[in-house]
Amino acid sequence: MKILSVICILISCSALCHSQTKISGFVKDAVNSPKELVLTVYDPFSIYNPQIIEDTVITRNGNFDFTFNIKKEMIVGIELSGKSIFFPGTYKLVISPNDSLYINIDDSKKLGILNLNITGRGYEKVDFKKMILRDVFAVFKTDPKYQDQSLYYKFLTTDRKLNIIDSVCNSYNGFLDAEVRSLIRAEVYESLLESLFIAVKRSDNDSSRTYFKKFIVEKNRMEPFIEEKNIFYAGGTLLSEFILLNEFKNPLLYAGDRFKTDSAITYCNLIIKYFGKNSHVKNYLLSNFMISYLNSKIFDKTSEVLYDFYLKNTDQLNPFLTEVSNSYFRSQRSLQVGKPFFNFSLADTVGNLHALPDFKGKVLIIDFWFTGCSGCKQMAPALDAIEKSLNDENVIFISINVDKKERWLKGIGQYSSKSSLQLYTMEEKFHHSIIRSLNILGYPAVFVVDGRGNFAGIPPDPRNGQADFIQFIKKVKKEVAN
């Protein structure tokens, strides 16, 4: 009898460990017209490569089904014909292992979390978020148009909405776990504060600092992101901006968006100043910044100094320590000027392979992009104009896409320069070794390779002016000729 009990327990444990998480549903207006849905699962405990699962399905008689395995709470987004089904309201949901959600979409033209009927195991998280958003949206409906709101009004209405979130959370008497409730609270906080922080950064209002102190600092509005493990799921970018908005009288004039990379050590010291006593927050912010910095800059002496600073000021139990170290050594290996560029071999639109050695003697301008990327859409015409301006057969423009083939082909010319050589990562998407080797986290990303096949650097952003970009390319050509 005891043996049988032990066997039953082991079987139960095994079933739990290997239980599948499921999201299925029905799209009413896709019964006779199949539609594409794309599921993306993000791991909040990874900075360099958070996108761990992507799956695409086509509805059958309106039905769809995604099944996948996760071992902890993850963040899930679903797009229907290129649009998030949860927006407005949110772009993503928190989903737990063994959840089994069923989503009923009555009208694919009327999306948003409040318009969806979501049932099944794990629905409590969705219902809790809906409770919050219904009351918050009621306030949105009373707001003037965003462009007509004064900065002071934006602070006032945001404060009112945050108070509503707190009220709903404090009065909740359901069965949802307190840690998950705290996480959802932080998510909704983030969506509201993000637009406010952008408005403050863009404002030259002399009272912005006063408003920020009164409504954000004195009311401790960053607290939800510091609680528990929330920082890994929400608020990381906001805490970074909070530092600058609180530190500088007018961040637009004194700091700007380039402060963090141009004054890297100073910024890292500010992280320690504000969050040094919260080790999980400090570790996350330092790690996130390190990976972002190593991704956006060529490897040089500053990279070495910054990494040494990081090792001295992070904790050995930092869950991102290995990830940062791997990024550092990848950057050291691949992003030093003069080092051999990644020896790629990628397919074009008709399946022909193009490899790095094929371009010997040519300067390569390589642009990485994906369909739907707003920055890529701005980059495309800038690169088109530069290609026409240079008109040089020894300078080759290559666009490398990280989507699946069908989506890639749809985006050519809109999100990539029209006349460049179009290549893609051959169904490996963001996980291709060229992406990992070059530490690419954000898009668009542009790299220059000299005529010897060596990395020549990251050029000035052509969207901010073509002259510096062209000058950079001419300098590379001249160095190769010598």
**CATH number assigned to the domain comprising residue 112:** 2.60.40
Query: Is 2 inside any structural domain?
Result: no
In a shared domain, residues 51 and 191:
no
> How many structural domains comprise the chain?
3
What is the rounded CA–CA span in Å between residue 122 and residue 128? 11
Q: Could you give the 3-state DSSP secondary structure of residue 23?
A: strand
Within 10 A of 384 (CB to CB), how many other CB atoms are there?
18
40, β-bridge pairs:
54, 77
Q: Give the domain-ending residue among 273, 307, 334.
A: 334
Quick one: pLDDT at residue 251?
58
Q: Give the domain-ending residue among 90, 119, 148.
A: 119
In a shared domain, residues 179 and 273:
yes
| Cβ atoms of residues 155 and 128 within 8 Å | no
Q: What's the pLDDT band for 6 if we cut at 50, 70, 90? A: very low
Q: Decide: residue 301, CB within 10 A, 0-12 exposed, 13-18 middle, 19+ buried.
A: exposed
Q: Could you give the 3-state DSSP secondary structure of residue 201?
A: helix
Quick one: pLDDT at residue 250?
63
In a shared domain, residues 104 and 172:
no
Task: For tokens 């160095």, name the residue.
Answer: 479
In a shared domain, residues 113 and 153:
no
Query: Is 129 inside any structural domain?
Result: no
What is the rounded CA–CA span in Å between residue 130 and residue 93? 11
In a shared domain, residues 330 and 394:
no
What is the rounded CA–CA span in Å between residue 79 and residue 248? 39
- Higher-confidence position of 216 and 256: 216
82-89: list long-range contacts, CB under 8 Å, 24+ apart: 82/372, 83/111, 84/111, 85/37, 85/111, 85/116, 86/111, 86/112, 86/113, 86/116, 87/111, 87/112, 87/113, 88/112, 88/113, 89/113, 89/114, 89/129, 89/133, 89/137
Range of the domain at 438: 345-481
Q: Could you give the 3-state DSSP secondary structure of residue 476?
A: helix
| Cβ atoms of residues 99 and 118 within 8 Å | no
Quick one: pLDDT at residue 125?
94
In a shared domain, residues 311 and 196:
yes
In a shared domain, residues 322 and 360:
no
Task: For tokens 């108070």, name the residue.
Answer: 163
Quick one: pLDDT at residue 119?
97
Peptide bond into 251 cis (omega under 30): no
In a shared domain, residues 146 and 292:
yes
Query: Is 132 inside any structural domain?
Result: no
What is the rounded CA–CA span in Å between residue 261 and residue 292? 9
Q: What's the pLDDT band for 205 if we cut at 50, 70, 90? A: confident
In a shared domain, residues 154 and 91:
no
Q: If you average pLDDT over every residue of the chain, what do you get?
A: 89
Peptide bond into 88 cis (omega under 30): yes
Please, what is the Cα angle at 98 between 56 and 111, to 5 degrees?
45
Helix and strand counts by DSSP (H, E) for the chain: 18, 16
- Residue 15 pLDDT exceeds 50: no
| Cβ atoms of residues 91 and 77 within 8 Å | yes
What is the rounded CA–CA span in Å between residue 274 and residue 324? 21
Q: Could you give the 3-state DSSP secondary structure of residue 120?
A: strand
What is the rounded CA–CA span in Å between residue 14 and residue 10? 6
In a shared domain, residues 298 and 149:
yes
In a shared domain, residues 102 and 149:
no
- Residue 128 pLDDT exceeds 80: yes
- Residue 233 pLDDT exceeds 80: yes
What is the rounded CA–CA span in Å between residue 224 and residue 185? 7
| Cβ atoms of residues 390 and 473 within 8 Å | yes
Q: What's the pLDDT band for 169 if we cut at 50, 70, 90? A: very high
**CATH number assigned to the domain comprising residue 443:** 3.40.30.10
Q: What's the pLDDT band for 2 if we cut at 50, 70, 90? A: very low
- Higher-confidence position of 443 and 65: 65
Which of 38, 34, 48 is CA-nearest to residue 403?
Answer: 38
Query: Is 151 inside any structural domain?
Result: yes
| Cβ atoms of residues 105 and 28 within 8 Å | yes
In a shared domain, residues 356 and 327:
no
Put simply, whether the predicted model's pTM sits higher than 0.85 gets the answer no
Quick one: pLDDT at residue 86?
95
Query: Is 366 inside any structural domain?
Result: yes
Query: Is 360 inside any structural domain?
Result: yes
Quick one: pLDDT at residue 395?
93
Q: Give the domain-ending residue among 119, 153, 181.
A: 119
Query: Is 6 inside any structural domain?
Result: no
Query: Is 303 inside any structural domain?
Result: yes
Q: pLDDT tens across 360-409, in order?
A: 999 999 999 998 888 899 999 999 999 998 888 889 999 999 998 988 99
